[in-house]
Amino acid sequence: MARGEGINPEILIWARESAGLSIADAADKIGLLPSETASASDKLIEFETGVKSPTRNQLVKIAAVYRRPLITFYMAVPPPKGERGEDFRAHSVGISNRENALLDALLRDIRGRQEMVRSLLEDEDEAVRLQFVGAASISDGVHSVARRINDALGLPETGQGRPGGPDSLFKDLRSRCEHLGVFVLLVGNLGSHHSALTDSVFRGFALADEVAPFIVINDQDARAARAFTLIHELTHIWIGQSGVSGSAEDDADPTPKGRIEQFCNDVASEVLLPSAALAERPSGLAVGGKEGAHRVIGRIADTWSVSEPMVAYRFHRMGWISSVTYRQLSADYAARWRANKAQEKAKTKENEGGPSYYVIKQHKLGNALIGIVQRTLRDNLLTHTKAAKVLGVKPTAVEPLLRRFEAGRGAIFIETRR
């Protein structure tokens, strides 16, 4: 059997460690089998020390498990670490090496797809510099940036609330962002539930490109939180800061990155729950009273179709609830979310029905991304293989996905880019 001669053993070690895998875990995932003289782990160690070379088939499997292209293993030195942008997460210390490795792999994948989209726009002479990318800074102030985002999105001014619910709000905001030229994806894994990344690993991230900006929202997070994450990441694009974000925190991290993250939180909460709606402190909101806060926050969240954690964050930032009450509320909301998620998971196992793969995939990819693929593929400017890479699906899934998209022309991507 042909062997992968000429590979660099040091690259094997680097690729395994950057994938967050131990020797034993990697050997198991690669499918190495023990023999009378060597365990599976021993066999992998022999590859990593250069004693033996893996077969071609084994190298292909190693590349798949480590999520690296084959050419990587023939490089003289490990490539530089992939650009994650700024890491704005306040509590990334407790996240495992494997989770961070999966996150880096996801970021590499999305960045590669974003670069392909930019190339498509340039080839189609649609590469217009989007003036809002990097047009603001935190020195402009929360209200100024929030107003500019409101104006750009064309959000109606109202002090009476926002009917429809969180799903309707997110759908509307996503459509407005796509109309601006921002691609908005819902992604929480690398193609299977085995690689799912919880909201504790990341909530969202932004690629602040001037031609093809991308926003990715973790679809493992609560649906009610998506609108907040979307506007938070849009604010990152507005101030020209690519990076990955975590949960909103009650106290600002004193570092420059911490101040940027809190600024984006404050802008998002101002856009979704404007100050005009909070002119007076609700009478039922007793200082330090958790139960009273629960009732008031729930009522306002329903009125404005936003999440309760976001309202609680806003109240704390305004000084309407104490830090102790805010933390108690956050713990309550997190516990409720975990319980609801467990119930939904159990319900899904019981019911085999539900939306088709293509319905779900279109929702996660968004009309903007599918729209440009559909347009360029039909114009013979894109192959099905490259289309599959942009969409993150198998080549055989491209046509069924596009046919479903084309059948719903009313929801198709608006081609006009500002």
- For residue 55, the 8-state DSSP code is B
Mean pLDDT to the nearest integer, 376-405: 93
The DSSP bridge partners found for residue 245 are 204
- Statement: residue 84 has pLDDT above 60: no
Model's pTM, two decimal places? 0.83
Confidence of residue 180 (pLDDT cuts 50, 70, 90): very high
Which residues are CB-neighbours of 149 under 8 A, at least 6 positions away? 231, 234, 235, 238, 267, 271
pLDDT tens figures, 28-48: 999 999 998 999 999 999 999
> How confident is the model at residue 345, as a pLDDT?
73
Confidence of residue 3 (pLDDT cuts 50, 70, 90): low
Q: Which residue has the higher pLDDT, 355 or 81?
A: 355
Mean pLDDT of the chain: 87
- Statement: residue 1 has pLDDT above 60: no
- Statement: residue 23 has pLDDT above 80: yes
Q: Are 132 and 236 in contact (CB under 8 A)?
A: no
Lowest pLDDT segment from 18-32, 83-97, 118-132, 218-232: 83-97
Q: Which among 325, 372, 367, 315 has a CA at the least distance from the CA of 185? A: 367
How far apart are the C-alpha atoms of 54 and 50, rounded to whole Å? 10
> How confident is the model at residue 5, as a pLDDT?
66
Q: Which residue has the higher pLDDT, 347 or 396?
A: 396
- Statement: residue 252 has pLDDT above 80: no
> How confident is the model at residue 415, as a pLDDT?
37
Mean pLDDT to the nearest integer, 257-277: 92
Task: Collect contacts of 288-293 with beta carbons under 8 A, ≥24 apart.
Answer: 288/321, 288/322, 288/324, 288/325, 289/325, 290/325, 290/328, 290/329, 290/332, 293/321, 293/325, 293/329
Lowest pLDDT segment from 147-156, 285-294, 315-324: 285-294
What does the domain layout of the chain look like in residue ranges?
9-74, 88-350, 357-411
pLDDT tens figures, 329-353: 999 999 998 898 888 777 766 666 6
Which residues are CB-neighbours of 396 under 8 A, at least 6 positions away? none
Mean pLDDT to the nearest integer, 252-263: 81
User: How many CB atoms lie under 10 A from the CB of residue 242?
Assistant: 20
> How confident is the model at residue 409, as a pLDDT?
61
How far apart are the C-alpha atoms of 295 and 282, rounded to whole Å? 11
CATH architecture, domain 9-74? Orthogonal Bundle (1.10)
> How confident is the model at residue 213, as a pLDDT?
97
How far apart are the C-alpha atoms of 69 and 269, rounded to whole Å? 41
